[in-house]
Structure 1
């Protein structure tokens, strides 16, 4: 079962490989709940696991037959025809009922389990666990205290600001973004006390690295921008330069341990690469973050990644 929205092109890459392997694939978007998605599950009376069926216009699935779930990016709940209070109730019931059921299928492998995604999605946890696993992390301040932030900036310049989650969509549905950016004391005022902020001492990097780990498959790209931007996501993605990158064994092992800690099978890791000239390799690797449900379809080796996803999903139950 692939749990995602209809427009998810990244999931399409995995579905294509699964189809080539003749695995039986059902694509399900929980936000379709209603006449377009009907389900029923039963437990008790001697049964200790959920059993039942889920039906979409193209699939009729026995829940107990599902052996693997690729959890990607389902659509936001809809219920647009309902008044706000009724909508909030319907959303909560669907999340706890349908999503709760899909997260508790018997004898099922999840890549990744939604609870593991949620647990690992907090930056404070990511940085703490990365450091525990032996990875270098930037000097980081999380605060809403203006004086502490000013002190940090003064002592650690240059300093960058990062949002924890990015900007929400506008009321019209337009996607917004807040990129990593340098911050100076003159940019700070009392408004910082309104919410939490993350500041880090800037890494004097020569490039970025995106490391995608799927099971024990590791794919890495060195990413550089024509203008040396602080945040490579902020510019023209067509202008990004990707080069194959060898990941040191110590870093690989730390990433495996990181994923194991959170119960993850897959993660997209971002690193800052500093120039180094020693026996450890050409770069010093500094952990920036891990997206437990990140995008990878745009990377040069996306075909190999899709194959790795399919292998992890069907391993042990499908020829």
Structure 2
């Protein structure tokens, strides 16, 4: 067992995992309501399926590991909600359950549970589904009431890649288009993020560089910057995934580096890759560098030896 000698001051707070994760869940509720209005009852049902799967998987893993169950701390609920928000409302339940099980069992619990995972479980679950079951993400239901049958439509990024863009900025802001549950209504995502900032659950050190880098790179490439910021999973990723405690750097300087890296990869994927979106890949890729970023950006105590472990 290695003991890490850290410099004072040390302090205690009244914040708990349950309170922090509960605040995140509360911040996601406006977007869940918007998704229900936009895509019908399939949206909350999909979220509930993911939540139930996550709770069962985490509880069973704790039993297998002979430790007290952590299913009640709501961390697995946050993972389930975020994963569900990256899926279309017509995603088969078994696909959502498989992705959720992968997120909880393989990415989270196999590494020791909350605080020990090396990648964001929700992001990893999304990428797993994209790679293993791409057909499940090949179509997205259009907004209910927009047409007689709420037919399947293409996402704004997919349409832009084909040279077509029928949506206004207001449509993108309010989510009035085909897309994943939590990647369409940017307004409710912003409201949830502002709430988390207000209660000091998250900060903006990674979020703002993430968004700013996408804006700068796509702007220099001659793209519509406002469209790039309001479309795809950028808002969900920057507000709720790039702010994860475990898989992002600890220091402000490290978070800035992390955010810039995520933004750069996202922009490059959008500009040059065959896939229209790169938010999930960018966050997952930068997760791998978090230990290295922490190593070279954490503060050193006066008189201490750089990066020394005692």
* TM-score bin, normalised by smaller chain: under 0.3
- TM-score, normalising length: structure 2: 0.27
- TM-score, normalising length: structure 1: 0.26
Bigger helix fraction:
2
For the pair shown, the structure with the greater C-alpha radius of gyration is: 1
